[in-house]
Structure 1
């Protein structure tokens, strides 16, 4: 019976691996890990390790590896359900009570597993028998070892009724064949069609080693698609699984890195050359769920998509998506394959050492995003640099983790300075703009937004006098903001100042340093020149929205800190209200 993930996760959250292992093994602390004598073999020198942070144990003398459930199942000779009951009791949890619907779903899942086993075993048997001189030879000619072909359970699905008849003989129905995703009904008929006929088969297993579907590569030159996947089913969700992660996760003992590629053959070829810490995205656009799954066992993910334009574009889309879920201690890097090759081509041409050399030159996430956005930026135009900064900060603002957000913004600031401002040789006029741009990077985004907003008002007093009420409702954070805004409003309303020159002259009497600061640090000077009233209003409203959003985010951060120290219902309700507004 399959337990809900939330129930299993709660047991894991309550019990450390070391707490469970200590029931059978005398453990000693060593750095981040614990060591002890193997419970699986008589030994005098400790070879058994436990890592609470990663949630597993490993025995170097027997190669036994697993989590708390695996440990109890192995030593107590229990099945998974019995191990769950035992550990739930130890964790102080009530036994999980299955409903009839749970029992029905579990029964269906077990039957589908049996269907996959029959299907894949028959395909493998056919590959090594009647198709050994054709399709097996094709794989061997591509450089694959027999051990690799067996490891991935590769097979060949012929265009016949043999597998279908075998499944029927084992009690499967037409509906079950269709639910598995391996068959579909021919249009307008009840005839079952094998989805993967005339294709080399790549069985797919989920994180827990259960079969969930497969990929297929055609052997026909006139096929519509070289590769196809199983369709989405109740148990096969492409965006939540990674091909070969169930095997690759074992390599987390030897490497902290996981290489993510696009295709099945990329994984198989890399493994064939001795690179085992590799998974593939199942032919779908990479999702944050896939990255979170990979992060369970690896702290550093290296994305190595195809070197053609579609692979480069897919890499950048993945970068923007992953940026949002970045968190401390977890890294994302990108490797770029030259000459439009894919990892399969590259490793077969340059071998394991050549591929590892390529991986060692990977660029981090911030670099990839910066370089993509900096393309086409005119480095001699401050307005272009300002727009680049704005675009990068907008992306960084989507990062959920506040600490990661802070340091990514800092990284972007440094990259703008080092790669754009510092390297250029401007004329004397541009040198002044260079100085201003460098200094501007020392300010926070909120400060720049506020100063740029004031710069907009100062440049268009004739339009701004109609916005007095909106201006008066805003809260600013720069020094002397309350006194300055009061005099600004008074100048617009009571002194009938209509030109920007007169307005600046009037305000400079008492706020000369602030006016100079606005002139130096505002990043919209080029953008807001020669505006019509409608365009002015659009800019005005955008700035108001940004200032209010910054205020809201500041309040949320403050409440989060307060709730961590002293949680109370009033603060929590205020926090929820702000988050949902």
Structure 2
């Protein structure tokens, strides 16, 4: 019998390999662990089990298989996760299959539109103006190989070339508009968004085209760059240009070079700095930082750093500091960007990377070169720049070093700097940069005790006899099924209980407890579970008795009094 695409994908992909392409996993016994990407934590509680092909966070409670992980980390529906993993596993999803048709989502249509648009733009390079574009890019230092690798294209100076092309391929105009590729006029006419521009496709982490950037070419009017607006599949605040090609190198080299533009990124990769990405048209956001954090804690900034004037850049650096990044700054020659330096002499850029300075050193150098430390006004401006940066340093020893250095440079007492630091209140994060509310699964004490007890039984199965079959009724439905399956070997579990059993088994593998403490702990958990259950039953019976008394139901009253008496006796035995 032919396996379904879902089963085929699961059989071909290893969950450890998939998750490690997103997160840095460390071996922990038979399993792997890392910091959870779904909630803030300092001690890793996110585990991956290669044996069971599942993941679980013991901090926030989220768990699942490889499909669930991709859905959670990418923020997508099951159909999109299926398509991503099918591509990765080399499994063909046949368009004729009802499973494929059912899961073909609106997002999938937009991905298809963007991919076709990308091919359209690439094809235009073969025309007369397209060849001029290639010549221009080559003169800028971008090789023809890089043009193909990054799928650079050309949008012709026509009103409806792309929209007509996509319409003939069977896509509706409102779908093309949703992909951000056309503009709808007041008269309800559709025009290509990108006209007479060099096109840089923007890719997601899986190298799927999700948007475009367009650079002006051979004309004076219009913005130098325009980008796809935010769509269902593209949000510029959550995308880093080039990350799909840089993620492996970032992890390998353990630092990321962050630049501003498309050409900076392409030329950096071409010159061997394949750990380079760019923000492309947006200030650095916390969402982008959270993505980078999966690959490295070290960030090298290679763009114009006007500490006095560029509020957006400074806010991005503040966010990176708060996120715990080790930040260094590449000191670029004035009026030069990485593309200018690399196209002239890649070795020069290599020296700049090697000589990158720590962010605090950069702030000190900039503040003291921009303002006169010998005047009161100058001192005030220097403090305005440096105090918030020092305040954000979490390590107190490091913070003391910078306070001492600042006091010495300004020829003032350290105590005065500390006093000013105490008075300083750091600004709240800007609108749109708030942390998404973390949803941590809240469990009752009863659930926690049951999980703890079952985990210990799975870890030390010889102690199963401590729980007699009369005690099974005190457990949840899933808990009872687990206990029964341990008593009766090869008992089949329901799908929900199988997932629960796998998580408990994973917990048992990572659990550390001294052997002599196991039996007392099992007994304690069992007693507490019974106590909670019996108290709930007593409370329920008491309420029913009160109601029966109000209704003067003598038969019911007698039965409930007997029930309450029996529950009380059971409680006294514990």
Shorter-chain TM-score: what band? 0.5 to 0.7
Cα deviation for residue 231 of structure 1 reads 1.5
1:80-131 per-residue CA deviation (whole Å, 9 max, x = no partner) reads x98426999xxxxxx9999xxxx99971100000001111011112213555
Q: In structure 1, which of residues 363, 382, 400 is the aligned counterpart of residue 357 of structure 2?
A: 363
The equivalent of 1:168 in structure 2 is 167
1:222-260 per-residue CA deviation (whole Å, 9 max, x = no partner) reads 231222111122332212211111211121343111111
1:142-182 per-residue CA deviation (whole Å, 9 max, x = no partner) reads 22222211110111111344432221122211111111111
The equivalent of 2:403 in structure 1 is 413
**What SS class does the counterpart of residue 209 from structure 1 fall into?**
coil
Cα deviation for residue 137 of structure 1 reads 2.1
How do 1:470-481 and structure 2 match up within 5 A? none
**Unpaired stretches in structure 1, ≥5 consecutive residues:** 1-14, 22-31, 37-49, 57-66, 74-80, 89-94, 422-433, 450-542, 547-581
Asked if 1 retains the 8 angstrom alpha-carbon contact of 2:204 and 2:244, the reply is yes
Asked if 2 retains the 8 angstrom alpha-carbon contact of 1:323 and 1:365, the reply is no
CA distance in 2 between partners of 1:18 and 1:417 (Å):
51
Shift in CA distance, 237/34, structure 1 to aligned 2, threshold 3 Å: same
CA distance in 1 between partners of 2:291 and 2:315 (Å):
18
The equivalent of 1:110 in structure 2 is 108
Asked if 2 retains the 8 angstrom alpha-carbon contact of 1:229 and 1:282, the reply is no
The equivalent of 1:238 in structure 2 is 236
Shift in CA distance, 326/51, structure 1 to aligned 2, threshold 3 Å: farther
Q: In structure 1, which of residues 81, 84, 91 is the aligned counterpart of residue 67 of structure 2?
A: 84
Asked if 2 retains the 8 angstrom alpha-carbon contact of 1:396 and 1:409, the reply is yes
Residue correspondences, number: 363
1:51-83 per-residue CA deviation (whole Å, 9 max, x = no partner) reads 854899xxxxxxxxxx999x979xxxxxxx984
Asked if 2 retains the 8 angstrom alpha-carbon contact of 1:320 and 1:369, the reply is no
The equivalent of 1:147 in structure 2 is 145
CA distance in 2 between partners of 1:306 and 1:87 (Å):
35
User: Does 2:325 correspond to 1:330?
Assistant: yes
CA distance in 2 between partners of 1:358 and 1:313 (Å):
24
CA distance in 2 between partners of 1:290 and 1:321 (Å):
10
The equivalent of 2:337 in structure 1 is 342
Cα deviation for residue 292 of structure 1 reads 2.4
CA distance in 1 between partners of 2:178 and 2:49 (Å):
33
**What SS class does the counterpart of residue 216 from structure 1 fall into?**
strand
The equivalent of 1:579 in structure 2 is none
The equivalent of 2:299 in structure 1 is 301
Shift in CA distance, 418/365, structure 1 to aligned 2, threshold 3 Å: same
What TM-score, normalized to structure 1?
0.53
The equivalent of 2:255 in structure 1 is 257
CA distance in 2 between partners of 1:303 and 1:372 (Å):
15
Shift in CA distance, 113/223, structure 1 to aligned 2, threshold 3 Å: same
CA distance in 1 between partners of 2:231 and 2:268 (Å):
29
CA distance in 1 between partners of 2:128 and 2:357 (Å):
47
Shift in CA distance, 388/132, structure 1 to aligned 2, threshold 3 Å: closer
The equivalent of 1:292 in structure 2 is 290
The equivalent of 1:276 in structure 2 is 274
RMSD over aligned Cα, in angstroms?
4.4
CA distance in 1 between partners of 2:35 and 2:416 (Å):
42
Shift in CA distance, 407/217, structure 1 to aligned 2, threshold 3 Å: farther
Asked if 2 retains the 8 angstrom alpha-carbon contact of 1:287 and 1:318, the reply is no
The equivalent of 2:211 in structure 1 is 213
Shift in CA distance, 407/279, structure 1 to aligned 2, threshold 3 Å: farther
Cα deviation for residue 321 of structure 1 reads 3.8
Asked if 2 retains the 8 angstrom alpha-carbon contact of 1:396 and 1:405, the reply is no
Asked if 2 retains the 8 angstrom alpha-carbon contact of 1:291 and 1:322, the reply is no
CA distance in 1 between partners of 2:15 and 2:400 (Å):
36
CA distance in 2 between partners of 1:254 and 1:343 (Å):
22
CA distance in 2 between partners of 1:86 and 1:291 (Å):
20
CA distance in 1 between partners of 2:19 and 2:384 (Å):
51
How do 1:11-30 and structure 2 match up within 5 A? 17=16
Shift in CA distance, 380/148, structure 1 to aligned 2, threshold 3 Å: closer
What TM-score, normalized to structure 2?
0.54
How do 1:93-108 and structure 2 match up within 5 A? 107-108=105-106
Shift in CA distance, 279/20, structure 1 to aligned 2, threshold 3 Å: closer
The equivalent of 1:183 in structure 2 is 182
CA distance in 1 between partners of 2:103 and 2:313 (Å):
34
**What SS class does the counterpart of residue 305 from structure 1 fall into?**
coil
Asked if 1 retains the 8 angstrom alpha-carbon contact of 2:163 and 2:173, the reply is no
Shift in CA distance, 394/306, structure 1 to aligned 2, threshold 3 Å: closer
CA distance in 1 between partners of 2:149 and 2:203 (Å):
12
CA distance in 2 between partners of 1:189 and 1:365 (Å):
52
**What SS class does the counterpart of residue 197 from structure 1 fall into?**
coil
Cα deviation for residue 290 of structure 1 reads 1.9
